[in-house]
């Protein structure tokens, strides 16, 4: 579970990127985080993952305050960034080994994980190559594997489908379902509302740093009968 309580973040010049956000991302569900460009999604995700410190408020991951116990909180989640261009000089397998060492993953577990997950993503033949030699989509897959190798309780994914081929997108969605079904937390940001509509149990809509909606997708759709998520989203954000 991720709990944000009265979280705000202001950048230099008085630009309030996130304004008094209170949001609980529950276990056992897939939560979609949507908003227009510049709405504050990335800032929020960066605060949750510890990249940015909130100016106000509190963020807890599975009950651990990320500001008071950053190491403990960071062990709770696996983060997939929107740009997978990290550690380009490492081979895919070296990157996964590195992440596994950081999270103290036992040898047997990491070998099993790679043996099962790499074929699922169809990159078993690419892990021996450097990340630099991989396409964007393959790099994304390696990042996803790196985020999941320590079996985190919380998955935080920033635009995870970008660059993935249809089969890999399908595999990732399956894995997200499996993870949520196991009682764990999945939250991801996306611009592809059709994916959010099909995948998410919970939705949070943000614009200009303010939360416009937080709750189940069903309840949102009940409020806007007959409308697609895209139409609802456009309606919610149109007068901002």
Partner 1 sequence: MSAPLMAVVLLFCFAPLMGQVFTSSRLTYGLLAPTGQQGSIIGSALSMGAVMTLVFGVSMVVTYFYMATDLGTLLALPISPSLIVAAKFTLCMAYEYLMVVMYTGPMVAGYGVASGGGPLYWIAAVFVCVLLPVIPLSYAAVIIMIIMRVFRRLKNKKVLTVISTVVAVAAALLLSIFGQSLSDQTNAAGALSAARQLNGAYYVFPQLYLAQGALVGENILLLILFIAATALTIFVFLLLARVLYIKGAMGMSEVSSKRRALSRGETRKFMKKDGAFGSYVRVEIAKVLRSPVYFMNGVMMGLLWPLLIGIILIAGSADSSGSADAASSSAITSSAAVASGSAITSSAAVASGSAAASSAAASSGSAAASSAAVASGSATASSAAASGGASSLGNILSYFTEKAEDPMTLGIFMLIMLGLLFLIGSMDLMTPSTISREGQKIWFMKTIPMSYRDQLRAKIASSLPFSMGPTFVYGLIPAIVGIVHGMSPIVLIYMILLTVPSLLLINYIQLMFDLRWPKLVWQNEAVPIKQNFHSLAASAICIAIGAVIAMAAITLFTMLHVNVHVCVLIVIAVITALALVLRPISLRYGERRLEEL
Q: What is the closest distance, in whole angstroms, from the C-beta atom of residue 84 to partner 1 in the complex?
A: 10
Q: What is the full DSSP assignment across 64-126? A: EETTTSHHHHHTTEEEE-S----STTSBHHHHHHHHHHHTT--HHHHHHHHHHHHHHHT-TTT
Give the β-pairing of 202-207 and 29-34.
parallel
Please identify which residue in 111, 136, 167, 198 interacts with partner 1, judged by CB under 8 A.
111
φ/ψ of residue 182, rounded to 5: -80, 10
Closest CA to 98 of 47, 149, 135: 149
Number of residues that bind partner 1 (CB under 8 A): 41
Q: Which CB atom, from 30 or from 134, has the smaller least distance to partner 1?
A: 134
Rule CB under 8 A: say whether 136 interacts with partner 1. no
Q: How many CA within 13 A on the CB side of residue 142?
A: 33
Which one of residues 31, 49, 202, 211 is an interface residue with partner 1 (CB under 8 A)? 49
Q: Work out whether 51 is an interface residue with partner 1 (CB under 8 A).
A: yes
The CB-of-222 to partner 1 minimum distance in angstroms stands at 37
Q: Which residues bind to partner 1, rule: CB under 8 A?
A: 46, 49-51, 53, 71-72, 74-75, 79, 81, 85-87, 89-91, 93-94, 97-98, 100-107, 110-111, 114, 124-130, 132-133
């Amino acid at each position: 579970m991720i709990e944000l309580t009265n979280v705000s973040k202001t950048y230099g010049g008085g630009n309030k990127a996130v304004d008094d956000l209170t949001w609980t991302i529950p276990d056992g569900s897939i939560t979609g985080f949507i908003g227009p460009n510049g709405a504050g999604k990335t800032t929020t995700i960066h605060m949750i993952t510890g990249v940015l410190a909130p100016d106000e408020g509190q963020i807890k991951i599975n009950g651990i305050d990320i500001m008071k116990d950053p190491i403990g909180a960071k062990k709770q989640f696996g983060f997939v960034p929107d740009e997978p261009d990290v550690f380009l000089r490492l081979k895919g397998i070296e990157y996964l080994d590195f992440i596994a060492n950081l999270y103290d993953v036992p040898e047997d577990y990491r070998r099993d994980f790679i043996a099962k997950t790499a074929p699922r993503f169809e990159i078993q033949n690419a892990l021996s190559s450097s990340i630099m030699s991989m396409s964007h989509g393959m790099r994304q897959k390696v990042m996803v594997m790196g985020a999941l190798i320590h079996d985190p309780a919380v998955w935080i994914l920033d635009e995870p489908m970008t660059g993935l081929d249809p089969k890999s997108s399908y595999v990732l969605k399956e894995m997200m379902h499996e993870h949520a079904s196991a009682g764990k937390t999945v939250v991801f940001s996306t611009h592809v509302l059709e994916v959010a509509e099909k995948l998410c149990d919970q939705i949070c809509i943000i614009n200009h740093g303010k939360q416009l909606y937080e709750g189940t997708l069903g309840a949102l759709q009940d409020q806007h009968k007959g409308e697609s998520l895209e139409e609802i989203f456009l309606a919610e954000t149109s007068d901002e």
